[in-house]
Amino acid sequence: MKKGGSKRKGSAFERETCVMLSKWLSGGEREDIFWRSSMSGGRATVARKKGKNLSSQVGDVSCIHPMGHKFIEAFTVECKHYTDLNFEGLLTGKGKLIEFWKVLFKQAGEKHRFLIAKQNRLPVYIGLTCDGMKDLGLGMQHALVISRPFDLHLLEAKCFVKVCVPFV
């Protein structure tokens, strides 16, 4: 990959995720409910260091339409697209996926965690906590993998958009 290519890949994945979530929330009618957070959530990090709370800017996705406010108030969305997410880390407690999940726990504060992860040549997965699954009306049968030590429930994004009732 060219120098800087991974940044472009991550930014493109964030844009694709925003469109996917917008279509999910609007029943396929809108693509413009969510968009990338300023500085990919970095604006909230900088503000936090100054003692300010910009909770709607935490994570990679923020809402730009009132229809998305309730979802963004409840969930911190983080997007990761990597060559290798180290799925075996769900067993060992190590690797990129687990690292991202742990960081998301710190960033999200009181909000639910919503990790959207993509590994090359694999489908897109969504990671949620047990409480996040319940609040979205998802049963445990929808999770492909459950890592109890980390309270991480992974399901395919395609399954999510089909079975999850929009959070409005």
Q: For the chain, give percent helix, strand, coil, nearest 5.
A: 50, 20, 30
Tens digits of residue pLDDT in 48-59? 454 544 555 579
Tens digits of residue pLDDT in 98-122? 999 999 999 999 999 999 999 999 9
Answer whether 59's CB lies under 8 Å from 77's CB.
yes
pLDDT at residue 126 tops 70: yes
Residues 47, 8: Cα–Cα separation, whole Å: 25
pLDDT confidence tier of residue 1, bands split at 50, 70 and 90: low
Answer whether 98's CB lies under 8 Å from 115's CB.
no
52: number of Cβ within 10 Å:
9
- pLDDT score recorded for residue 111: 95
Tens digits of residue pLDDT in 12-39? 999 999 999 999 999 999 999 999 986 5
Mean pLDDT value across residues 64-89: 95
Percent of the chain with pLDDT over 70: 83
β-pairing verdict for 124-128 and 34-36: unpaired
Residues 131, 42: Cα–Cα separation, whole Å: 26
Percent of the chain with pLDDT over 90: 77
